Amino acid sequence: MSVFQLFDLTGKVALVTGGGRGLGKQIAEALAEAGCHMAICSRKLENCQETADQLGEKGVKTLALACDVTSKDDVKAVVNKVLSQFGRIDILVNNSGATWGATVEDMPAEAWDKVMNVNVKGTFLMSQEVGKSMIQKGSGKIINIASVAGLKAEPEEVLNAIGYSTSKAAVIHFTKDLARKWAKHQVYVNSIAPGFFPTTMTKAVLDRKGKDIVSHIPLKRIGDENMLKGAALYLASSASDFVTGQTLVVDGGASL
């Protein structure tokens, strides 16, 4: 097998949550360019449809769906629709996420619940439902989008969102535990921990403290629209067929 074949996803089917914009959209673009048919879901159907239309121009089949990943009924309905249209799900990218900036002493309990529900419960529910079909066919790749915030405790002037950081640390351990449980089914589970990238979620903090944040990154820059694509393609493809339960950190060295 050539090195190019290792990264070829022709004929595969991927489901990307939160794929209508930001990092999820970038990942969806990478997988589509490698030949993967794409199903994209998020709470905002219009974003997903716009991205799906763009990806369809690459010659792959696409499907846009609305989904609240914290709802078991929504998750089940979305997975059933993808399986009905494509017949299989080879790759799942759990990218949907939420955050809430506040000091620990001021963070509302409802905000904590929202962040944990989307980032942790949503990852669990989608993995559980998609995993059933992967176990049945004896193969699959699950990629959970964690964060460098789940690996280190940032000073409050950089990031003051303890619910987000805690949820992403949970995602990292969930990845390890699920990889251990499902290795016998040839279902691979890995995660990516991005550092600072320009997204809707990070815009406010980057606008306020971007220069200070960059000064603490060894490579002296934040991520751009291409820097996550290679990591996602690697974990989604046969190139990573001896890798499971791992977290690939893409942060410019910020966690060193």
Active site residues: 164
Beta strands in 18-102 (DSSP E): 37-42, 62-66, 91-94
Q: Which helix (H) or strand (E) holds 76?
A: helix 72-86
Measured distance between the N- and C-terminal CA atoms of the chain, rounded to whole angstroms: 35
Residue type, 232: A
**Residue 71 CB-density burial (10 A; 0-12 exposed, 13-18 middle, 19+ buried):** middle
Q: For the packed helices 162-182 and 109-116, what is the interaxial angle rounded to 10 degrees?
A: 30
With tokens 């900036």, the residue in question is 101
CA–CA distance from 28 to each of 20, 40, 54, 231 (Å)?
9, 8, 11, 12
Type of residue found at 100: W
36: left (phi over 0), alpha (psi -120 to 50) or beta: beta
**Please, are residues 255 and 196 in contact by the beta-carbon 8 Å criterion?**
no
Pair type for strands 91-94 and 62-66 = unpaired
In 110-213, DSSP assigns E strands to: 140-145, 187-194
